[in-house]
Amino acid sequence: MTHKQLNNLQAADILRLQDTLTHDPIHPHIHTADMPFRVTSTWQDHNCEFAIWEEDEQILAWAVFQPAWWNLDCWVHPSQKGSPMEKELIEWGIEQMNSYRQRTGETFWGSVEFFEDEKSKAQTADLLLDLGFKKFEWSTVRLAHNLSADAAPSNPEVPKPFSVRPLRGNAEVEAYVDLHRAAFGSDKMTVTWRERTLQHPAYRPELDLVIADADDRPVGFCICWLSGTLGHIEPLGVHPDYQGLGLGMALEQAAVATLHQHGAQTVFIDHTSFNETAIALSQKNGFKQANNALRYYVEID
């Protein structure tokens, strides 16, 4: 078995990694569809590394620490759950978190998340507890909208004078970054991250939506991802000056309709369990709770 660490990913690596996420359709990875958004994020701009464990050219596990979310994104082959390699992976992740803290001076809670219906849930939870993790009181709620192949979703109710359209590629990247930062009150989104997203093999420009004002300036955004017949909405946000006008609901409706048009049979969206407003909005749009992702954290200080 070999363990290699990469400072960036080539197209061949990206495609191989994406294939691992569909290996177990019964217990899918939480980021099966929207991983292109995460794998292009700022980890490589902060000297973080992407680790791959493989044997005979078969990927058995991979992991990357994500400074944008202070989260360890990872995948372990079902045959390796509970093995020494899984422990090695988590320990490697903690080392990455501590190295990032030493470089930046930031203190944070580094997290790992997994669906509570995973058959290896108990093994993973015990491993994390043994390595010093604690369980968050909150979780990530997975909501699903199951779509009929025959009946199209209703048209989005877009308030006037606003309109929904695709992002205009690189020409609007800087405007998107400013909008994203304003919507989430965070400077984690960067131009380089967004430009890399546009170049990912799974990115589809027709699924990258914005809602624009009367002057055609984006005031809200919603990126859709598609993996087979599974659609995922991530992220979705509206500028603070335009919240409360129904734009988030319109964007979500437009995303569902667009994904259905391109073959999605199920659309997912995730919300933190304490974000009752967002959960209620999605439920009003036809989403129902389908799963729950448990989150464990270790203090990096």
Q: Give the dihedral sign, CA 250/227/208/238.
A: positive
Same CATH fold, 148-264 and 2-141+296-300?
Answer: yes
Q: Which pLDDT tens digit goes with each residue over 172-210? A: 999 999 999 999 999 999 999 999 999 999 999 999 999
Domain ranges of the chain: 2-141+296-300, 148-264
Q: Could you count the other beta carbons within 10 Å of the beta carbon of residue 206? A: 11
CATH number of 2-141+296-300: 3.40.630.30
For residue 1, what pLDDT is reported? 62
Tell me the fold of 148-264. Answer: Aminopeptidase (3.40.630)
Q: How confident is the model at residue 3 (pLDDT cuts 50, 70, 90)?
A: confident
Q: How confident is the model at residue 149 (pLDDT cuts 50, 70, 90)?
A: low
For residue 151, what pLDDT is reported? 66
Please compute the mean of the pLDDT values over residues 4-31 and round it to a whole number.
84
For residue 197, what pLDDT is reported? 97
How far the first Cα of the chain sits from its last, in Å, is: 33
Structure letter (DSSP) for residue 64 = E
The Cα-based distances of 192 to 44, 101, 171, 181, 278 in angstroms read 10, 22, 13, 14, 28
For residue 210, what pLDDT is reported? 98
CB 258 within 8 Å of CB 207:
yes
